[in-house]
Structure 1
Amino acid sequence: MCAVSVAEVPIPQDALVAASLQPIHYGDCYRMQVPKNFTGGVDDLTGLIFSPASNPSWASGLTKVRDSVVGLFGIKRVTPGPGAAKQGDSLQPGQRRLLFPIIARTDTELLLGLDDRHLDFRVSVRLVEEGANRSVDVATVVKFHNLLGRAYFVPVKPFHRLLVPAIMKKAALNWEMANTDEG
């Protein structure tokens, strides 16, 4: 099993996520090499990354704390939708993948997100192919609507910056562990 590395990179300006919200008050993007024996496309990567198995155990506790507090302020609670995509599924706008509805897609990028009264956010999973190298970008952008949105994001931001790379690493390790006998 190889070491999994995730690096922060600029949000690609040609990505759907870059133009998905205006103005963007916060944005980040993380990149990771796709496991060598992973031959699926962006739909499969999205299913793998947003699989409950890719969620670190500490994140579930934080989500419970978040949900117990945000309802007092009229902010939407986290409600899971359908499970992870099956390999070969083609996710379309309007469908939901776990927590987030799909807003738009290309052959190499899925844009998911939610709008609420305090802020809107978008998450993009983008397959980047450069010759034989394949990597995945997971980018997030946020637009605040009011002071509540800005205040809400203050404690969320540091956990978000830890959570996204942790999810990506766990997704890759889960894939490698499940597919060590292949290829």
Structure 2
Amino acid sequence: MKVDEITPNADSTALLAGAQFMDAFRIETEHSDLDARHAAEVMVEQQPRWFETLQTLRNILVKPFGLKTSGAERGVPRDMIGIFPVVSQTQARLVAGFNDKHLDFRIVVDVAAAGNGRNVTLTMLVLTHNSLGRAYLALIMPFHRLIVPAMLRKVAN
């Protein structure tokens, strides 16, 4: 299953005004009844052990800086996809993400008809606020480029 890096086709101003980083990856699937929410749920469920290990390490490292370890807020009920709060959703698009001290991010899952199946596109947008945000983004980018295709491959299975 081939995952292609594509030119993002999302309105960054509407999704995350001022975003300094944006990328997108796409995979084709034969699942003709797939919608954006279900695609997002499949992508975040049962992550590989190496991803869970990285996530645990990340949470340990960022806690002293007062950064969020998920989008969940105590006492505030929210619609969540994994650790990400849902910002908006339609059948064709789900937007999730949250704002933090160091950066704001959005994950956009788009599903569109493609022959007898669907194209699923995962777009990431990031707006950094300070040097910690820029350093964090630089640190996670090599992992991001591994994680996103792995997540998309799960949708095509």
TM-score band, normalised by shorter chain: 0.7 to 0.9
Q: Label 1:122 to 1:37 Cα distance change in 2 as closer, same or farther (>3 A).
A: closer
For 2:72 and 2:151, the matched residues in 1 are separated by 16
1:118–1:148 Cα contact (<8 Å) kept = yes
Q: Secondary structure at the match of 2:144?
A: helix
Structure 1: runs of 5 or more not aligned: 82-93, 174-183
Q: TM-score, normalised by structure 1?
A: 0.76
Counterpart code for 2:56: K
Matched to 2:67, the amino acid is I
Pairs within 5 Å for 1:1-183: 4-13=1-10, 19-34=14-29, 36-52=30-46, 55-78=47-70, 94-173=78-157
Query: Is the Cα contact below 8 Å between 2:31 and 2:118 reproduced in 1?
Result: no
Number of equivalent positions: 153
Distance change >3 Å, CA 46–CA 128, structure 1 → 2: same
C-alpha contact (below 8 Å) 2:96/2:107 kept by paired residues: yes
Gaps of 5+ in 2: none
More strand by share: 2
Deviation at 1:131, TM superposition (A): 4.4
> Over residues 77-96 of structure 1, what are the superposed CA-to-partner deviations in whole Å (9 max), with x where a residue is unaligned?
24789xxxxxxxxxxxx411
TM-score (norm 2): 0.87
How far the C-alpha of 1:19 sits from its partner, in A, is 2.5
**CA RMSD, aligned part only?**
2.1
Q: CA deviation at 1:12?
A: 0.9
Runs of 4+ aligned structure 1 residues displaced above 4 Å come to none
